[in-house]
Each structure stands twice: as C-alpha cells, then as structure tokens.
Structure 1
Amino acid sequence: MDYLAATAEKKYLMFISQNYSYAILRPLQREILARGGEVKWFLHGKTVNRDFLDESEQTLDSVDAIHDWQPDVLFAPSNSIPTFIPGVKVGVFHGFDAGKLNSKGQNDHFKVRGCFDLYCTQGPNTTAPFQALAKKHGFFQVKETGWPTLDPFFSEIENNPYKNPDDNRKTLLICSTFSKRLSLAPKLYEQIKAYSEQGKWRILVQFHPKMPSELVERYKALQNDNLTFVETDNVLPLLQAADVMLCDTSSILLMFILQRKPVVTFCNQAPGEHLIDITDVNKLTEAIDYAFTQPAELMAKIEHFCQQLHPYQDGLSSQRVLAASNELLLSNPALKPKPRNFIRNFKMRRKLNYWRW
C-alpha cells in the first residue's frame, strides 16, 4: 500500500511547546499539505511564541477544540504529551542524543514516558536502544526514518542572512545549553569577550531558549563588527553559515557535525573521537585553530560518527515519518495499552485546564 498517498483528507496536529519546534515540524507539514492532508497547530505553554506562526498556519486553542477536530495523527517533538487527546501519537524528537545525564546519572533521551504510539528515530545509534525498549514495553512501535528537521539542511539555503560574502574571515559559531552545570557561556565569557575584541574570526553566538536572561544580555552587550548574537526559531541557516562550532554538551552540536564540519567542545559529557574536547580554557584557541584546518584523521572520524547518528542525506525524512505514521494509523497493530500515568495526566489536565473525560 502507498502510505504516503493515504495522507489525503486526513488530519494532522502539530503539538509544540518550544519555538524551535516550528522548524522541526514544518518540513513534515509541507509533505502533508502537498498530499492533500490537513494540518493544525496546538501551542502548549507560555514559552512558545505565536508570532512565529506563518499567516497560512491554523491553530487550535483548546483541548476541546482538538477533540472537536478529531486529528488522525499527532506529531510532537517533546518528551511527553497528554494521552487524553485523540490521534495516533508520534514522537519525532526535539534534538539528538547529546549524552546528557540527569541528576540520577540516566540518559533522558531514552526515557520512555508512556505517551507515544510510535517513535521515529534518527539513525542506528538511537534506533537500536528504542527497539529494545519497544520489545520490553510493548505499547509502542519504532521506525528509523531520519529527522524531518534536517530535510532542508542538505541543500544550500538561498540568501542566508548569516553569511557575509564581503568578509573572508573564518566563521566560528558558539552555541551553549542552558544548564548551569553544563553551559560554557558563564565559564568562557572572558575568553569569548577577548575573541570579540581581537577580530581574528567572525563570530556568531546562539543560545538555548532557556538560557538565563542575564547571561543572554551580557553576551548581547559584546556585539560589534566581529561578534553577532542571534535569536531565531530556525537554526539551520545559522549552522550552514559557520565553518567551526564551539559548544558544550548541547545537542545542537550534532546537527552541526552532520555537515561534516568540526566541533570544539568544552567539558563535554560524552566526548568522542569525532569531537575536539578540551577542559582547559588555555587550550581553547589552539583547539579552534586546529579545527579550522579540517585535519583528515578528524574528518574520517566525523564521517563514521555521522553514519551512525543520521545516515540520511536525501532530504526525505519527512516522507518516511509520514508514511510510518499513516501505516500505524491504518494497520492498527495489537499494541499493549499504555500505562495509566495518573499523576502526569493530572498535571497535564491542570496545565491545560481540561477536565472532560
């Protein structure tokens, strides 16, 4: 059966709670609309900005409205979603597994919360763990599809606002996670300030949206002809514009490295041969200079890593996610019931002010 053709006249809900989710789900939206499906968005929480919606994008503003619309499939780039709303629930991830560990020493990327019917994984190094979890739990399926976010990534973005053809310096992109324990932003501030004054490289800075505002303001104050602070809901053009990234343990580094470009990390939680990881700030400049040379040995290790992380460079991951979702919807497999999740669902009902049963 042609599961892509089955998209016609079906309803798909994009359930988001962060601004970066727009860019994750829009390639998928394009595939749905091109095949005659219908898409609506539900913006959950106060951290997602309605101003990022395109004029053509329609929203549902309450759980009652979702029930009235009756979506066939729900896509969410989040760890958990309410199970009391209709539709086959598909997890598409909000990033790659960067090896972050929680306070209990566990990797949250592989924590199953009993919300999804299908996980669409990004590559072999996430597929195998989720397949093991699916076999253990029995209430969801796993399909390796690649990540829809990256579909536009494998073609050059026209009129990239972050490139400057009149500036022949190398471009360094600095990104950081928001966790005080993991973030390079407070630890490397003085060094980055010095770089902004030296002008050796063209520097772009972009932080996780949950970064403390006072730290964001400190970096914004550094802006000059050498350093630009960027706030955006779509990081893909930003990633394409840089030659090397400086990062910590943020999963955005994995998106960057898929371009086969080097990444320097500061105190990374899961350092590997594909990264240039340092723990001594005095070695930072040397490491960045080395990365700009793209040494052959490092580039070979990056290529091997990318094949495990996300081997798809055809820009068709959204099609694979859509086909897998339609297949699950139409085949109606005999999955075990999801766990009740009384406490989590009660909290969700309270947040959404929804008490209809």
Structure 2
Amino acid sequence: MTVRKYLLNISQNYSFAILRPVQSAILKRNAEVAWFIQGSNVNQAYFHSDEKVLHSVEEVMAYSPDAVLYPANIAPTFFPGINVAVFHGFDAGKLDKRGNNDHYKVRNCFDLYCTQGPESTVQFSKLAESHQTFSVKETGWCALDPLFQAKPFVTENNIPTILMCSTFSKHLTCAPHLFETVKRLSKTGKWRWLIQFHPKMNKTIVEQYKAIQNDYLTFVETDDVIPLLQQADVMVCDTSSVLIMFLLQHKPVVTFNNIAPKDYMLDIGDPNLLEATITQALSRPKELMDNIQRFINDTHPYQDGKSSQRVLDAVDEMLAGKNIPARKKPLNLLRQFKMRKQLNYWKFW
C-alpha cells in the first residue's frame, strides 16, 4: 500500500496553529508529512524538534507530495501533487482595491477548496460551477479542531477576561483609537485584559500597548491564539477575522468601526462607549446570543474537532479520481513567474 505524502506550505507564523491539527491527523493515518517555508516571515524557532522541514524547492520536488496544503490565497502551481486551500481565516468582509470581497477571489492556484461551513460552501460552489477548474468540499476549518477538543479554560479569579485583538490595516485597526480607553479601564481592576495583535501590526502601536502592561493587562505574542480565545469572556475587535473564531464559542464580540457590522456583533464608533458595551456583552442578552447561534449554524457548525480528518478525506477522494474539476487550471503565467522568482526556481521539467 502506497503511503500518502503531504506538504504543509506556510508563509506566516500563524500558519503553524492552522496546520498542526492537520499534521496530527496525517500522522494518525501513518502517512508522511513535511513543512516548507515560503518567504521570510516565518520564525523557524517555532518548529518542533520532531517536525520535518524541507529547505528548498529542490527538496520539495524530491519529496514529491501527493497534496500540498496552503493557509493562503495564492500558491505555486508547479509543485507536485494537488493544491488544497484550507484558508488563513474566515470571511471578515474585507474588500480588495476594486471593492470585491477578497475571501471569494479565485486566483487559479488551487485544485480543491476545503470550505468552513454552509455559507462559504455556497459561495465557492457558485465559483466552481463558473470556473470549472477547482472542486469544493465542506470540511470545517482544521485550525479550530483544538478549540473544540480542549477542556474549557478555568480562570484563576472571578473577574471577567477581555481579549482585545486587532488587524494591522491602518484603515481598519481599532488599536490606536481605543488605546487611551483601554489604558484607563485596565487600571480599574474591573476586568482582566489580554492584548493580541496581528503579526504585521505597526511596531509603534505594539510598543504603546506593551508599555501599559500591569496586573490587569498583558500583551501576548503568540503563534497560537486559541488558548486566548478559550480564556476570554468577551472580545474587543475591529474587522479582523479572528472575531469569527471567538463567536463560534458562543461568546459575544464588541467591534469598533467594523466595515460591515452584523446583528451578532455589538458595534461602536465612539471609544467612550466601550465600557458600557463590554458590560452589555458580559450580560449575554438573549437576542444577541440567538443571533450568534444562527451565525454559527451558517458559518461553522462543526464542533466535533474533526475538521482535519474531513480535509484528509476530501484529499483522498480527489486522489482516488473523484470530485475532479472539469477543466485544468489556466496557466496564469505572470503570477507563476513571480512565484518562481520569489522561490528562485526555474526548472520546467
């Protein structure tokens, strides 16, 4: 029996937390798995001593994976194996420069999209029918398996925990706008604050928040946000897709100037409203919680911690000749030229 080979392709530190659940599922199937770093934004110290890392495209070619998994929007199409998109986050409503939803932009890089829930499946299935160059399988998001497998987190004291997360985009981030308010609230001891930002966040803002750490406020730098999601009772956020992960725990989120606020969020545009709105969120009003449950059903109803297994089942299905796209992907020469240049790989055979 042939042993399956998988390659986990990463370009950001947060990709470790997305793909390690898949790695665990692969190893349980007695298959082979290796990692490959694309670009220079990954801290190699995050690798575990028992993880296999390929250091060049030549090594990737020699390894010859059956499938390559990407928590990314674009990917090289010249690696061996099928290209599988597992997403780096949820649809947070972010738009590209042309005003189109970036989450549903087809870049002709993938053979298979493993969608997170009914809402994304519907959207990608429509795109698959139109393009006919990729297939879609609803699996749930592998990154959330640990969220639903772990035991509930128990805090050391009885005060509520507030997790503040923010995207790095200067047009969308809440961090600079809420700084003074968070600084003031943290000194009251009313709540415990955990602060975690996107790794691309402006360094000046990062240093500002680090400077106000105290007994009730901690700035956290991590490649795995899930333990923070489990600890917190309420999240404060903006338009970062991490807020969706938090909502899936059936916990409220307070957003600041969200670009498309929904009825399952408590959105504000004035920092002076932050304290009262957090208090409202902590009370878990019934209408809000009902709206959150409806959102969960549409976005990611899988809470069995087995999404990684479903991803591998979808890969096996395609490798067995099922759920195959009707047409081959277009060559997309310009994008792949740029990809080859980035990877400094020019062999074509």
TM-score, normalised on structure 2? 0.97
Distance 1:59 1:283 in 2: 48
Distance 1:164 1:50 in 2: 31
Deviation string, structure 1 residues 162-189 (Cα, Å, up to 9, x no partner):
x641x22110000000000000011111
Q: Aligned ranges for residues 265-304 of structure 1 at < 5 Å?
A: 265-304=255-294
Distance 1:57 1:251 in 2: 28
- Matched residue of 2:320: which SS? helix
Distance 1:31 1:155 in 2: 13
Residue 48 of structure 2 is aligned to residue 57 of structure 1: no
Which has the larger displacement, 89-98 or 149-158? 149-158
Residue 311 of structure 2 is aligned to residue 321 of structure 1: yes
- Matched residue of 1:41: which SS? strand
Per-residue deviation at 1:334?
Answer: 5.2
Distance 2:119 2:261 in 1: 15
Distance 1:92 1:334 in 2: 17
Residue equivalent to 1:45? 39
Identical aligned residues as a percent: 55
Residue equivalent to 1:343? 334
Query: Which residue identity is paired with 2:75?
Result: I
Residue equivalent to 1:206? 196
- Asked if 1 retains the 8 angstrom alpha-carbon contact of 2:112 and 2:137, the reply is yes
Query: Which residue identity is paired with 1:101?
Result: L
Residue 83 of structure 2 is aligned to residue 89 of structure 1: yes
Deviation string, structure 1 residues 176-209 (Cα, Å, up to 9, x no partner):
0000000001111111111122221100000001
- Return 5+ residue gaps in structure 2 as ranges: none
Residue 231 of structure 2 is aligned to residue 241 of structure 1: yes
- Asked if 2 retains the 8 angstrom alpha-carbon contact of 1:122 and 1:144, the reply is yes
Distance 1:289 1:219 in 2: 22
Distance 1:13 1:101 in 2: 30
- Asked if 2 retains the 8 angstrom alpha-carbon contact of 1:157 and 1:237, the reply is no
Query: Which residue identity is paired with 2:143?
Result: T
Q: Aligned ranges for residues 124-203 of structure 1 at < 5 Å?
A: 124-157=118-151, 164-165=155-156, 167-203=157-193
Query: Which residue identity is paired with 1:32?
Result: I
- Give aligned pairs, total: 347
- Matched residue of 1:81: which SS? coil
Residue 85 of structure 2 is aligned to residue 100 of structure 1: no
| C-alpha spacing 1:174/1:334, structure 2 compared with 1 (3 Å) | closer
Residue 227 of structure 2 is aligned to residue 227 of structure 1: no
Distance 1:110 1:259 in 2: 24
Deviation string, structure 1 residues 129-170 (Cα, Å, up to 9, x no partner):
100000000110000000011111113348x6xx641x2211
Per-residue deviation at 1:351?
Answer: 0.8
- Asked if 1 retains the 8 angstrom alpha-carbon contact of 2:149 and 2:304, the reply is no
- Matched residue of 1:188: which SS? helix
- Return 5+ residue gaps in structure 1 as ranges: 1-5
- Asked if 2 retains the 8 angstrom alpha-carbon contact of 1:173 and 1:204, the reply is yes
Residue equivalent to 1:3? none
Query: Which residue identity is paired with 2:12?
Result: Q
Distance 1:156 1:115 in 2: 34
Alignment match of 2:299 (pick from 305, 309, 318): 309
- Matched residue of 1:175: which SS? strand
Kindly report structure 1 stretches of 4+ aligned residues shifted beyond 4 Å: none
Per-residue deviation at 1:103?
Answer: 2.4
Distance 1:205 1:282 in 2: 19
TM-score, normalised on structure 1? 0.95
Deviation string, structure 1 residues 236-286 (Cα, Å, up to 9, x no partner):
111000000000000000000000000000000111110001112221111
- Asked if 1 retains the 8 angstrom alpha-carbon contact of 2:135 and 2:325, the reply is no
Residue equivalent to 2:346? 355
